[in-house]
Amino acid sequence: MTGESMMLPDRKPVLAGWAAVFRVVEGLWTWYSRNWRATVVSSVLQPLLMLVAFGIGFGSLIATSTRAAQATGGVPYLVYLAPALLAVSAVQTAAFESSYPILSSFKWRRTYEGITATPITPGQLAVGQLTWIALRLIMSGGAYLLVIMLFGVVRGPGVLAAWGFAVLCGMAFSAPLVAFSAAQEQEGGAFTAIFRFVVLPMTLFSGTFFPISQLPRVVQPLAWISPLWHGTELARGAVLGTLQPVAAASHLGYLVVLLMVGVQLTRWQFGVRLTR
């Protein structure tokens, strides 16, 4: 090699911006295309089973209750529940994808370390990883919607909007959690605690199975900070056609802000951890 070749520091093409993000997504997709089977049960079958169990089981328990009819706004319980479970499953899938696999890629598999030894920067890797999670949510949400539409539980263009809202909601939770996971040095049970003390209560108390007005007044504000409550309100409103513009805008605003903050935190944390 001569000094001459070094006068051309850019001999090989280096990936810029979105091209790099796309390569990261492609790598994650390669992994997924070999390992997708395990995700079907938790991200598609589980919400469907929940819909059947609660929609039909619980639906039949409250079929004659006027209080219940009042609470659900008069729609059958199955229809009331279906869009909410779309958001729930987005959040649950997001929670899983944003916890163990992230820590593992830093710590056990060390694949992130391998990726950042290439032209791809930690920031691009972070965005690529989040984009991949979003794609996962789009895919599993789509599969769930397809099935419930085939069975005629819900229909109409609102369903498409609900799909988008659910993905947004999942990502609004995913992004900050990915940042958190990237900051974990030890497994230390932090994730178990997140699942038990954040994800589960969020699932149960975000107006999924019953309106939050059924909760004691003091705990209702807790639902307001839960991205799932905003996502549920949006998805359900879109499907039932009861969305009010002002409320919708504020739900959306909250989720978008959470997402933005989460993305910035993730990029920053990836940078910190991968350039020590």
List binders of other proteins among 197-256 (CB under 8 A).
197, 200-201, 204-205, 209-210, 214-216
Nearer to other proteins, 27 or 176 (CB): 27
Judged by DSSP in three states, 1 sits in: coil
Nearer to other proteins, 98 or 203 (CB): 203
Instruction: Give the nearest distance from C-beta 111 to other proteins in angstroms.
Output: 5
Nearer to other proteins, 85 or 159 (CB): 85
Instruction: Give the nearest distance from C-beta 58 to other proteins in angstroms.
Output: 6
Nearest in space to 223 (alpha carbons), one of 204, 247, 240, 196: 204
Helices 158-182 & 245-274, crossing angle to 10 degrees? 30
Instruction: Give the nearest distance from C-beta 121 to other proteins in angstroms.
Output: 6
Footprint on residues 122-181 left by other proteins (CB under 8 A): none
Nearer to other proteins, 35 or 245 (CB): 35
What is the pattern of x (binds other proteins, CB under 8 A) and - over residues 255-274? -------------------x
Contact (Cβ atoms closer than 8 angstroms) between residue 85 and residue 47: yes
Helices (H), 156-244: 158-182, 190-194, 200-204, 220-225, 227-240
Contacts with other proteins: how many residues (CB under 8 A)? 76
> Of 34, 218, 221, 245, which one interacts with other proteins (CB under 8 A)?
34
| DSSP state string for 128-149 | HHHHHHHHHHHHHHHHHHHHHH
Instruction: Give the nearest distance from C-beta 209 to other proteins in angstroms.
Output: 6
The residue to which tokens 């469907």 are assigned: 48
Stretch that binds other proteins, among 40-48, 134-142, 148-156, 157-165 (CB under 8 A): 40-48
Q: Is 69 exposed, middle or buried (0-12, 13-18, 19+ CB in 10 A)?
A: middle
> Of 111, 131, 220, 264, which one interacts with other proteins (CB under 8 A)?
111
* Residue 26 interacting with other proteins (CB under 8 A): yes
Nearest in space to 26 (alpha carbons), one of 173, 124, 164: 124
Instruction: Give the nearest distance from C-beta 164 to other proteins in angstroms.
Output: 27
> Of 89, 92, 121, 174, which one interacts with other proteins (CB under 8 A)?
121
- CA distances 167 to 55, 130, 221, Å, are 22, 12, 23
